[in-house]
Amino acid sequence: MPCGIIKNVLILFDQDGIMPGKANSLEKEYKAKEVEEKWVKTWKEDMYFFDWNSKKPHFIIDTPPPYPTGSFHIGNALNWCYIDFIARYKRMKGYEVLFPQGWDCHGLPTEVKVEEIHGIKKSEADRDEFRKLCIKFTEENIEKMRKTMKRLAFSIDWSKEYITMYPEYYTKTQISFVRMYKKGLIYRGYHPVIVCPRCETTIALAEIEYKKGLTNLNYIRFGDGENSIVIATTRPELIPACVAIAVNPEDKRFKDKVGMKIKVPLTDYEVEVIEDEDVDPEYGTGAVMICTFGDRQDVKWWKKHNLELRIILDRNGKLNEKAGKYAGMNVREAREAILDDLAKEGRLLKQETVEQNVGVCWRCKTPVEIIAEVQWFVKIDRKKALEAARKVKWIPEHMLSRLESWVEGMEWDWVISRQRIFATPIPVWYCKKCGEVVVAEEEWLPVDPTKDKPKKPCKCGSEEFEGEKDVLDTWMDSSITPLAITGWPYDWKDFDYPVSLRPQGHDIIRTWAFYTILRSISLVNRIPWKEIVINGMVLGEDGRKMSKSLGNIIQPDEVIEKYGADAMRQWAATGVIGSDVIFTWKEVIAASRFQQKFWSVIRFTHSHLMGERVEKADLRIADRWILSKLAKLVKSVNEFMDKYRFDETLKAIRSFTWYEYADNYLEIVKNRLYSGEKHERDAARFVLYTVADTLIRLIAPITPFLAEECWSVINGNGSVHLSSYPEPEEYEKYIDEEAEKSGELMKEIVAGVRRLKHEKGLALNAPVKLVKIYPSLKIDERDVAGALNAKVEVLSEMPDVEVRIKEIKPDFSVLGPMFRDKVKEIIKAIEKMSEEEKWKLIREGLKVEIGGELIELKPEWFKAVTEKVVSGKVVDVLEIGETIVFVEF
């Protein structure tokens, strides 16, 4: 079909040999998934490698090491998006950015999962074997999560990855332990732990479930005669563990008992009656016995009043020799025996049934017990920690008060030992002969004291040691991340410490943030970071926390699969830092629509540039108007990004791109681009390039894939992510207040005429004969004419406008009942009136003769429809500020 081809060529080329807006080689639809997958494969990992020797200013981010569960959840995604926005922005702003990635591997959930998968119990498994299984499981999980992270385009320096379960990392944890021990900041002491008597293991708070049940509240008389008091308890079996009796200080009933020593029944010792405002006077008799330990309230009182420790219960749930004749019984047996004995002595006065919430082991549903064991502690210097915390800049500021109120209310030191397997070993041995505590020397590390031996004998000469079986709390690993990523301790880049930024969620302010501050000041006496930025949690579409039971969980992979990573990232950007964010598909869909819009703009731009760049241009009003707006956009986007206000950033970019640039500027210059003179067109083409190039770079941190794809269309080679961020100073030259006002006016004129067509029920492309404008500012009539597709005349003088009554509309609901059959004649009479009479009727009323009768017509019965006439032609008039527009259809 040679004819067809020739015909096409003739149409496509204009006199300059360029094809304006035709033969677009680019896909009409922006296929996010295809584009994104292409760039994931194309991008080189070393794009984001960090160099300590770089002369650029350094920006180091102490990123959170997630727990490798195997799925990178949406909360992680939100947090990492924020981090990546910052990292990419700072990189483009000329910083050498370190965006490391760590994995906080140790912990109970993995142990539980491994037990489940392999059908084993860690208490029976070989320690070493069990640990290996945990490592393997964790490695697989990390790999899965890495994949999602790469797909989301996080600009991580993977060469700096750290994994806390590997010796390279946990050696650092052990060194930190040794150093703090040597400074006297770590010690051993008794501390309550929660155990499941059936599993015979320590369990964490998180592993406790609560069960409602009924139990007896027993009223028991302690002591005799004067020195007696009646207490109520649900745990009579713990009487041999009683260390005090407490009453409320406000309770007048016991005023004379306070300070008194009272004998504990069935034992041979006495305890003191003390006061505490936590005692509920309404419960039981208002007097309670404090035991070590019946529940967590007991632990609190025990610490607060510095009471004696009397442990009568062992790990296996049996009473020990301290319980006297009850030794060897389990809790239930002891309870019966003790109640029996109390009854015999006449001390059991009353029993009543009460409801009770019992903590049970999540696995076997056995009620848990609290016992005390020797644990390792980190000393907490609250004052120093608070001072340090206040030196860090908190974003948002109010998050600091969460830490403050937490620290101020802390009741005891940080217990760092755990009775588990998969964790960093505590590098300590105990001499079997003299009991000496031998802490590893730094150069022996890493060690596992359950396998390794100290490299020198004990002070007493013995070489027989018992290795510490307890391991460290996971927070001991993760609370040194800022130190670890800066090479501490042997290759420490202290010039980059404190690091620039810690991004994290508000759920772990009291743990991760607090412990990191504590450890940093303990180890190197410096704050860990200059700034901490707190992100919110992700809530489900129903506004509630995502949870399996509510069925409102959304996985990032699902979002990526449906709308792509950039859409997901835009959703993340719509959140306000520090606030919880609701996940909504609507937002993701809106984001992907914006991508399509952005792509269409780029496609349009490309079709008018075809790789050419216009260097010099004779800019017209509209061009200067949009460039001035662009300059202001650049300025505010920089400000928003500096404040980590990604929501404002994205909103500003979106509304400029969509509502200023695409809807208005492009519509105004289209005519110039398609059928203008070369210089007219080039001015627009210059703007087209400048705006596209700027917008691509502005949005690059948020939507890296879209930006890269568009960059390759507009700029060809290289990567937008290695380019520079638009700086406000570079754009200052475009700021032009006068052009902005004129541009706005032109926009208003075009919009006004469009609205007029709409009101008249005309199609928007309906022809307009003539538009006459009496402008208050300079306008570009060529562009206005082009945009309106009409002839435009700019008037230098305000023409005479005659207002005529076109029609008079009577209010029939008044006239009808009043004049009945005469109404028709009244209408006829009005129609016959002269212009002058009609005006009189509308303004002050008029008397008319109908059928020989004089009738007075009142003005409020009528409405006038007027029309305006200029030079004898009927026109529509628009008033835009001081500007008057006459439109002739």
Residues that bind RNA (CB under 7 A): 21-22, 24, 28-30, 205, 296, 300, 398-399, 401-402, 405-406, 409, 506-507, 510, 537, 539, 543-545, 576, 579-580, 582, 584, 586-587, 590, 592-593, 596-597, 600-601, 603-604, 607, 647-648, 651, 655, 658-659, 662-663, 666-667, 670, 674, 751, 754-755, 758, 763-765
Shortest distance (Å) from residue 749 CB to RNA: 12
Complete DSSP assignment for 153-212 = T----GGG-EETTSHHHHHHHHHHHHHHHHTT-EEEEEEEEEEETTTTEE--GGGEEEEE
Shortest distance (Å) from residue 398 CB to RNA: 4
Q: How far apart are CA 342 and CA 338, in angstroms?
A: 6
639, exposed or middle or buried, with CB in 10 Å at 0-12, 13-18, 19+? middle
**541 touches 582 (CB < 8 A):** yes
Shortest distance (Å) from residue 541 CB to RNA: 9
Q: What is the largest CA-CA distance in the chain?
A: 139
873-880 and 883-888 strand pairing:
antiparallel
Name the token pair of 188. Answer: 């051993």
242-247 and 270-275 strand pairing:
parallel
Comparing CB distances to RNA, the nearer of 58 and 506 is 506
Shortest distance (Å) from residue 406 CB to RNA: 7
Comparing CB distances to RNA, the nearer of 412 and 430 is 412
Shortest distance (Å) from residue 402 CB to RNA: 5
Name the token pair of 34. Answer: 């295809």
Reported for 92-95, long-range contacts at CB under 8 A and 24+ positions apart, including other chains, are: 92/697, 92/700, 92/701, 92/721, 92/723, 92/724, 92/725, 93/724, 93/725, 94/56, 94/57, 94/724, 95/56, 95/57, 95/58, 95/59
Comparing CB distances to RNA, the nearer of 271 and 532 is 532
Comparing CB distances to RNA, the nearer of 410 and 801 is 410
Comparing CB distances to RNA, the nearer of 273 and 400 is 400
Give the number of other CB atoms < 10 A from CB of residue 494.
12
Region for residue 587 given its phi and psi (left: phi exceeds 0; alpha: psi -120 to 50; beta: otherwise)? alpha
**360 touches 369 (CB < 8 A):** no
Q: How far apart are CA 232 and CA 225, in angstroms?
A: 18
Comparing CB distances to RNA, the nearer of 378 and 841 is 378
* 3-class SS shares of the chain: helix, strand, coil, % to 5: 45, 20, 35
**648 touches 576 (CB < 8 A):** no
Shortest distance (Å) from residue 205 CB to RNA: 6
Comparing CB distances to RNA, the nearer of 38 and 300 is 300
Shortest distance (Å) from residue 109 CB to RNA: 15
Comparing CB distances to RNA, the nearer of 611 and 851 is 611
Distance of CA 779 to the CA centre of its chain: 46
Q: How far apart are CA 815 and CA 532, in angstroms?
A: 75
Shortest distance (Å) from residue 745 CB to RNA: 15
Shortest distance (Å) from residue 791 CB to RNA: 16
Comparing CB distances to RNA, the nearer of 601 and 617 is 601
Shortest distance (Å) from residue 504 CB to RNA: 12
**535 touches 506 (CB < 8 A):** yes
Q: How far apart are CA 598 and CA 592, in angstroms?
A: 10
Comparing CB distances to RNA, the nearer of 401 and 462 is 401
Shortest distance (Å) from residue 77 CB to RNA: 17
Comparing CB distances to RNA, the nearer of 467 and 540 is 540
